[in-house]
Amino acid sequence: MNRTTLSLIAATTALAAVTGFAALATPDASGADTAGAAARLPVERTSLTCPAPSASDLAETSYTSFTPVTKGTDDKGEAELLAAKAESAAGDGDKAGKQDEKPVVQPKTPGTPATGDTSGADAPALVGTAEGRFAPGWTVQQTTEVAAGTGRGLLGVNCAAPDTEFWFPGASTSADRTDYVHLTNPDDSAAVVDIELYGKDGALESTVGEGITVQPHASEPILLSTLTEVQQTDLTVHVSVRSGRVGAAVQALDDKIGGDWLAPATDPAGNLVLPGIPKDATIVRLVLFAPGDTDADLKVRLASPSGSITPAGHETVHVKAGMTTGVDLGDVTRGEAGSLVLTPTGRSVPVVAAVRVVRGKGTEQETAFIPATGPVGARATAADNRAKGTTLSLAAPGQTAKVKVTASAGSEGGTAVAKTYTIKGGTTQNVEVPVPGGLEGTYALTVEPVSGGPLYAARTLTLTEDDDVSAFTVQTLPDDRGTVSVPKAEEDLSVLQPQ
């Protein structure tokens, strides 16, 4: 095999490794009949990490695992979530191998959710692997209810694929916030990580965040206030991995207005969409950061059910290079579902962004975070939906989009159903979600664009507490990367001929 062919296969393997492994296939298997055309094949292996859910003794946590049925997979494979090791034990000799304890969650078949639960302050982080038919689109939702104390309310996060770089605009070291960045290493070798903090005046000096070692199959929470003595209302956290890879998420806990997980924002870009702002949001705070050397000027629009509007008094926002900017948009949605759409006013400069959303008033307030996210792409899934309290928000910031939404079978019974929706260009719609027939337990919602322009999505899960505080959490739905583009590779011995 010549060097050119080897390079092509190496590039294909690197692409597949984003979420798993994909095998080269013949044109007959892929449906492609054009020489050199790329086929989209299901990934064969997916890794996920779930952060330790809470330090509260009152925490009650549930896990929901779901894999949508994917064409092109065989009947083999398995998926499981296992407890990560505590840092104190992670370095012991044979501790670096695969976990051997009972899985917290172990699904039995694609298309049906599997659930597990835990409670208290000692619940560990989880590392998971799905192979074969369970790998494409594997989604795990971690949902925690905390009845009282700092960060009380509903905290939700999608367990995430490990990576080497993460951006978290919207963190804080203010007096009323307790924020942790959780680092989880799913691999057999140690990872070395740097954490940088950027405030309103630029980078905060700290050497404590440099060269943090996360042991194999272990997780470590880092309290942000231990990395700097400076109190900042708005911070951007940059996690970069020198060696290995980790899963990362920020747990943001407030003394008075609850808390939630802040998931990583999509990669820096000139155009950003933040979907699914609840229609009854009382406070919406936009936090932005420009990681390069150039200031960014952005036009701010709200895609509402009736069309695209410009928030009064917040038509544009200026973001200084290397500095975090916070903008209080108030009750920008004014009783209607909405998504923020950020576009450059002139030259396109990459930025990252997230919003902190508050619902309720006075002592009955709760908080969630919505980072800028990528489009649904081919497919995306939200797990852990309930018969009541589930809101699916779909946004088409450009052209009109047609989308199919499938409600899976329930975790304890029920039959799958599907509906198709048309989302007019420039709008956001909270659609009436389908519910499985005869639902028992929880279910998953899978979103698949059918035609039209790019579609963005977010799911809000709301639970009403005994004291009438509506606890809620929001998860965005970027593409599940369940398939990978695999170019057709052929030998070409002519490249070996002398020129």
Tell me how crowded residue 121 is: count the other CB atoms within 10 A of its CB: 12
Alpha helices in 22-181 (DSSP H): 27-30, 87-90
The per-residue pLDDT for 363 is 82
The dihedral through the CA atoms of 23, 81, 191, 179 has a sign that is positive
DSSP state of 123: P
pLDDT value for 343: 98
Task: Give every residue of the chain whose pLDDT is below 70, as ranges.
Answer: 1-37, 86-100, 465-469, 488-499
Task: Indicate the burial class of 336 (C-beta count within 10 angstroms; 0-12, 13-18, 19 or more).
Answer: middle
What does the chain come to in residues? 499
Which amino acid appears at position 437 of this protein? G
Structure tokens, 495: 């490249």
pLDDT of residue 493: 60
Range 240-264 burial, b when 16+ CB lie within 10 A, else e: ebeebbbbbbbbbbbeebbbbbbbb
CA dist 236 and 324 (Å) reads: 6
How far is Cα 354 from Cα 369, in angstroms, rounded to an integer?
Answer: 7
Q: CA end-to-end span of the chain, whole Å?
A: 19
Phi/psi for 409 (5° steps) reads -60, 155
State residue 207's pLDDT score: 83
Is the Cβ–Cβ distance between 52 and 107 less than 8 Å? no
**Does the reported pTM lie above 0.75?**
yes
Closest CA to 198 of 259, 270, 268, 258: 268
Tell me the two tokens of residue 48.
């996920």
Cα distance between residue 351 and residue 372, in whole Å: 10
Res 328: pLDDT? 96
For residue 101, the SS3 value is coil
- Give CA–CA dist 386/370, Å, rounded: 20
pLDDT value of residue 495: 52
pLDDT of amino acid 496: 56
